[in-house]
Structure 1
Amino acid sequence: MRQAECQRPAAEFAVLIVDDSILEKTHTDLSALICTHWDHRMGRFVKGLNFVSLRYQAGELSLPIAVELIEKTEAVVDPKTQKTSAKSKFTKNEYLRAMLRVAQQQVRYRYLLADSWYASAENLNTVLELGHDFVLALASSRAVALRDKGRKNGQFQALDTLLFPDEQPLRVWLRSVQPAVLVARQVFLNKDGSQGVL
């Protein structure tokens, strides 16, 4: 990989892409690794192996560089139902931050790419502290301030209330993330004909 990095043109840059996936295992016995996980794509719990992966992408070169299996070993009792369930000792976001710290010593990259699940202030601050930038989806309800002074005074509003002039990005301030960030809005047509906004 180091050899491939050295051969890249100076203008070309690499990214790290984080994602979590579930490999369904409907006919496998339950264990700490093979258990139920919420699948947001399907809108229900599925039985399988859940993992967080980090992929290095530079031009046509694409390599997985880290993977963490989600192992649910901690017993949790729901106070309302008194039912016991299992959870992982670490969150997916904690796994991401650990993988980023290791990747920092292994590869050079410019951006972290991720979906809104990984857009917490703690993750964004970690990326910035490591000297990189990020391109992430944000939830439409994410609170932002239009000015740094507004952030300091607690003047926040939801992203979906902002007007984006001529589809240009807006410079906004997130709660607990020091520098301003650029937010762009993309409107697209879903397969079912409905309109989506990212």
Structure 2
Amino acid sequence: MRRLSKPSTAQCNSSLYTLFLLSEPKYVSCVRLSEILKTLSHDSVNRFLLRERYTPKDLFDEVKGNLLGTAGTLSVDDSVEDKPYRDPSKSAFVDYFWSGKHKRSVKGINLITLYYSDTVGNSYPVNFRIYDKQENKTKNDYFREMVLEVIAWGLEPAWVTGDSWYSSLENLKFLRNEGVGFLFGIANNRRVSVERGETLPVKDVEIPEDGLMVYLKAFGWVRVFCQPFKNEPRY
């Protein structure tokens, strides 16, 4: 965001707009905010949105003073803000994404977030991306970019965690090259070896409570755990 050299005289500002987003359950628009606040014009809100650019670095700078930057855990997650009535061909950030909430692909905006938890219990989001189909990147591309950024900004995580979506071979090799430990979910059909020359889906391997060292195909030796979860085990 811009660094102000003197007090702003703008009618709309980030605090006001944030409160509007938090309080308006359904219709978010410049017109709607100007309807709620009669003294605020549509043009004032529109100028604010065009003028300000809240970047991931702004988020990091806002929270870094509340965190111990070394030996913590960095976690990746993404969520979909439903936009069922938007036309993806006319909206830059709206597309079809898998929704864990709906258990299917839905129209919406996909927000990818890195959270950092330090060793004394503080936890804050430290980086984010809004999926932009015009950039021709995957969520995994964004993930690797975001990890490199927070490391460059001064974080020194000991571990990175995420669900099976982010446990691609490329991501695991990337984290190993960065010297960071990782704990990710993997799909139950991911192939591993317990004995040399024989690979099988991880779901067919008997795994004790304290885990089992297996050879992950095309990567190397890792410890795999199995935890019961609702209707099926998770690996």
TM-score (norm: length of structure 1) = 0.76
Give the whole-Å Cα distance in 2 for the aligned partners of 1:23 and 1:127: 29
**Among 126, 145, 149, the residue aligned to 1:102:** 149
- CA deviation after TM superposition for structure 1 residue 98, in Å: 1.1
1:17-53 CA deviation, whole Å, 9 max, x = no partner?
1011101123445412023323244132322111211
User: Which residue number corresponds to residue 115 of structure 1?
Assistant: 163
- Asked if residue 44 in structure 1 is aligned to residue 104 in structure 2, the reply is yes
**Segments ≥4 residues shifted beyond 3 Å:** 27-30
Relative to its length, the structure with more strand (as a share) is 1
User: How far, CA to CA, are the matches of 1:48 and 1:3 in structure 2?
Assistant: 32
Name the residue aligned to 1:143: 191
Larger Rg: 2
CA contact (8 A) 1:66 1:99 kept: yes
Residue 97 of structure 1 aligns to a residue in which SS? helix
SS of the residue 1:100 aligns to: helix
Distance in 1 between residues matched to 2:176 and 2:228, nearest whole Å = 28
How far 1:103 sits from its partner (Å)?
A: 1.8
Unaligned runs of at least 5 residues, structure 1: 74-87
Q: Is contact 1:104–1:130 with CA below 8 Å preserved after alignment? A: no
Give the % identical residues.
29
Give the CA RMSD over aligned residues: 2.0
Tell me by how many angstroms 1:3 deviates.
Answer: 7.2
Amino acid at match of 2:78: D
**2:207 is the alignment partner of 1:164:** yes
Superposition TM-score, scaled by structure 2 size? 0.65
Name structure 2 gaps, 5 residues minimum.
1-63
Partner residue of 1:176 out of 218, 221, 230: 218
Equivalent pair of 2:82/2:108 in contact (CA under 8 Å): yes
Greater helix percent: which structure? 2
Q: Deviations over 1:124-149 (max 9, x none)?
A: 111111111111111111000114xx
Contact kept? 2:67, 2:123, Cα under 8 Å: no
